[in-house]
Amino acid sequence: MQIKHYLLPFLLILFYQNTAFAQKPLSDRLCGYTGKSPWLEWYQHHRHELAQERGVDTTWLYVPMTLHLVGTDQGTGHFKLEQALRAVCEMNEQFAEAHIRFYLLPGDPVRYHNNSSWYDHEFYPGGDEMINENHLDGRMNTFVVANPAGNCGYSWQDAIVLGTNCSTAGNTTWAHEAGHHLSLPHPFSGWEGFEWDYSEPAPEEIDDHLVEKTDSSNCYLAGDGFCDTRPDYLNYRWVCDANKESNVLQLDPNGVEFRSDATLIMGYALDECASRFSPEQIEAMRSNLYFEHAEYLQITEPLQDVPDDIAVELVSPIDSQNVQFNNITLTWNPVPGATLYNVEVGLAPGFSPKFYNQTLYNTTSVTISSGIPNNRVLKWRVRAFNEWDVCHTNTNVQTGIFKTKNLSATNDLEQIVVAELSPNPVAAGIPAILSVTSDEYMDAVLSVSDASGRLCVTREVRLTPGENRLDIATDGLSAGFYVVTMRNEKGALVKRLAVTE
Ligand SMILES: [Zn+2]
């Protein structure tokens, strides 16, 4: 027994020497991960000793994350925090069987970056630079970008990078890349990037990897090195059949037919087919956390949660008061322990359509200046949660009501329609467009007068609910200032228009 206790430190030294070999990113255009990490090679050689050392281990392992939401130089295109939290929430369901749970690092859950060369990048220089300039210790750094080097996502340099297109509800991309981060290879390891005619028996070796056989004779040495993941040679996204297997029949090196297992998250079956990690994969990920990512294991007990049935008390507006439609400040009372608040504004009675849905960090008020329609009765609500539990399905939710108006309007027409004139200035000969958003059907007279008050153009217009585009012809107008007026029995709306040569 005494000897065994010396075994672990020895193995650790072996491992730390191995980390000198960095993993290369090799783009397979799908996930961007190939082969096995040196750590996994070490682990798979010693898994039996390690298993004996540890015994049965079902303690929960808690992994902190910081989300890096990357947008363009102009500050646009960031993946919405709300969507990223949903992805973390779903990933936790996929990892529940492994007793691994992800949470956002308290105090540093999300960082926003504006950099177009990271937003849409290749591995070099964009991806490499993005990861190295922003890597934070002691957590799983999780980047979300528009284009991760042509892949759905990848795991590289101690970070995972996800594409927004592959991060929608029901995705397995996040769990797949987190699986790579915790050392798992693809079940089709060795076949990445290989073209193969699957009606032919597979070779004994491919790309210096042993090819896994159906008879389990080489399962610890071939493929992904796990025996409870069946042979799989499919290195492209594939559709599964009703049995959650591949439609494509493959032939192992002995000519035995088989179909791939679509339920494995680490394979390339479509999202709706995949849902699990195998027991051996789970054991490897847990060992990886103990050895290679021990700095993640900062807590051994759950952090304080915000109860799902706690209601957020709204402060204002709550009682159908009128608010300026493009300058609405929503305020609520803080909830003890809560740091994240999801705020929604939608049309009464059913919140549909929703005009605003944002998750905000460490604030109990927000001012909204665009995207909310004028002259409507709207509802709003807030859900409170924190970094520990980002799934917020609170059912006990207070609702506030307000009416949007244009409070600076001097007459009824201005109060109920919103108009914008563009381009302005406009070159003579190019039509200017008066874009009028109205809530109701109405008739009006549209006129254009010159600076001295002479009427140049006049016509009748019919507005319908929604946005109306009214063309104002500028042929025949000489350069100068004009006044565009829309008028009916409710009042008048006046815009100045500059016409250039
Ligand atoms: Zn992958």
Query: Is the pLDDT confidence value at 20 over 90?
Result: no
Residues 399 and 420 in one domain: no
pLDDT of res. 13: 34
Query: Is the pLDDT confidence value at 200 over 90?
Result: yes
Give the DSSP per-residue string, 365-393.
EEEE-SS--SS-EEEEEEEEEBTTB----
Q: Distance, CA 235 to ligand 1 centroid (Å)? A: 10
Q: Work out the angle at residue 371's Cα, subtended by the Cα atoms of residues 425 and 418, and round it to the nearest 5 degrees.
A: 50
Number of domains in the chain: 4
**Model confidence pLDDT, tens digit, residues 282-322:** 999 999 999 999 999 999 999 999 998 899 999 999 989 99
Q: Distance, CA 170 to ligand 1 centroid (Å)? A: 17
Last residue of one domain, picked from the residues 405, 437, 466: 405
Q: Are strands 377-385 and 400-405 parallel, antiparallel or unpaired?
A: antiparallel
Q: Distance, CA 195 to ligand 1 centroid (Å)? A: 17
Q: How large is the average pLDDT for residues 271-276?
A: 96
Mean pLDDT, the chain, integer: 91
**Confidence class of residue 2 from pLDDT cuts 50, 70 and 90?**
very low
pLDDT of res. 218: 96
Q: Distance, CA 61 to ligand 1 centroid (Å)? A: 23
Q: Distance, CA 180 to ligand 1 centroid (Å)? A: 7
> Residues for the chain: how many in total?
501
Q: How large is the average pLDDT for residues 393-408?
A: 89
Residues 327 and 289 in one domain: no
Query: Is the pLDDT confidence value at 450 over 70?
Result: yes
Q: Which of 403, 152, 372, 418 is nearest to 268 (CA)?
A: 152
Q: Distance, CA 31 to ligand 1 centroid (Å)? A: 4
**Rounded Cα distance, 23 and 37, in Å:** 7
Name residues with Cβ closer than 5 Å to ligand 1, which is an ion: 31, 33
Measured CA to CA in angstroms, residue 459 lies from 93, 255, 306 at distances of 62, 81, 60
Q: Distance, CA 161 to ligand 1 centroid (Å)? A: 11
**Rounded Cα distance, 263 and 243, in Å:** 10
Residues 167 and 282 in one domain: yes
Q: Distance, CA 388 to ligand 1 centroid (Å)? A: 27
**Model confidence pLDDT, tens digit, residues 343-377:** 999 998 889 999 999 999 999 999 999 999 888 89
**Confidence class of residue 55 from pLDDT cuts 50, 70 and 90?**
confident
Q: Distance, CA 23 to ligand 1 centroid (Å)? A: 14
**Confidence class of residue 418 from pLDDT cuts 50, 70 and 90?**
confident
Residue 65 located in a structural domain: yes
pLDDT of res. 460: 94
Query: Is the pLDDT confidence value at 12 over 50?
Result: no
Q: Distance, CA 33 to ligand 1 centroid (Å)? A: 5
Q: Distance, CA 212 to ligand 1 centroid (Å)? A: 18
Cis peptide before 201 (omega within 30 of 0): no
Q: Distance, CA 181 to ligand 1 centroid (Å)? A: 10
Residues 398 and 470 in one domain: no
Residues 154 and 230 in one domain: no
Q: How large is the average pLDDT for residues 237-265?
A: 97
Say which residue, 393 or 24, is predicted with more confidence: 393
Q: Distance, CA 203 to ligand 1 centroid (Å)? A: 23
Q: Distance, CA 398 to ligand 1 centroid (Å)? A: 43
Residues 369 and 269 in one domain: no
How many of the other CB atoms lie within 10 Å of CB of 422?
Answer: 10
Residue 240 located in a structural domain: yes
Measured CA to CA in angstroms, residue 108 lies from 68, 78, 298, 335, 339 at distances of 10, 17, 15, 19, 11
Residue 256 located in a structural domain: yes
What CATH number is attached to the domain comprising 97?
A: 3.40.390
**Model confidence pLDDT, tens digit, residues 35-50:** 789 999 999 999 999 9
Query: Which structure tokens are listed for 180?
Result: 């790579």
Residues 125 and 19 in one domain: yes
Residues 19 and 141 in one domain: yes
**Residue 408 DSSP class:** T
Q: Which of 268, 169, 255 is nearest to 224 (CA)?
A: 268
The alpha carbon of residue 105 and the mean position of all alpha carbons in its chain are separated, in whole angstroms, by 17
Measured CA to CA in angstroms, residue 438 lies from 166, 415, 433, 465, 469 at distances of 38, 10, 15, 5, 11
**Model confidence pLDDT, tens digit, residues 139-150:** 999 999 999 999
pLDDT of res. 18: 33
Q: Distance, CA 110 to ligand 1 centroid (Å)? A: 24
What CATH number is attached to the domain comprising 427?
A: 2.60.40.1930
Residues 247 and 107 in one domain: no
Residues 164 and 258 in one domain: no
Last residue of one domain, picked from the residues 343, 371, 405: 405
Residues 384 and 445 in one domain: no
Structural domain for 219, as ranges: 201-274
Say which residue, 22 or 355, is predicted with more confidence: 355
Residues 263 and 288 in one domain: no
> What is the CB-side half-sphere exposure of residue 18 using CA atoms within 13 A?
17
Q: Distance, CA 173 to ligand 1 centroid (Å)? A: 8
Q: How large is the average pLDDT for residues 219-244?
A: 96
Q: Distance, CA 267 to ligand 1 centroid (Å)? A: 7
**Model confidence pLDDT, tens digit, residues 69-112:** 999 999 999 999 999 999 999 999 999 999 999 999 999 999 99
**Confidence class of residue 462 from pLDDT cuts 50, 70 and 90?**
very high
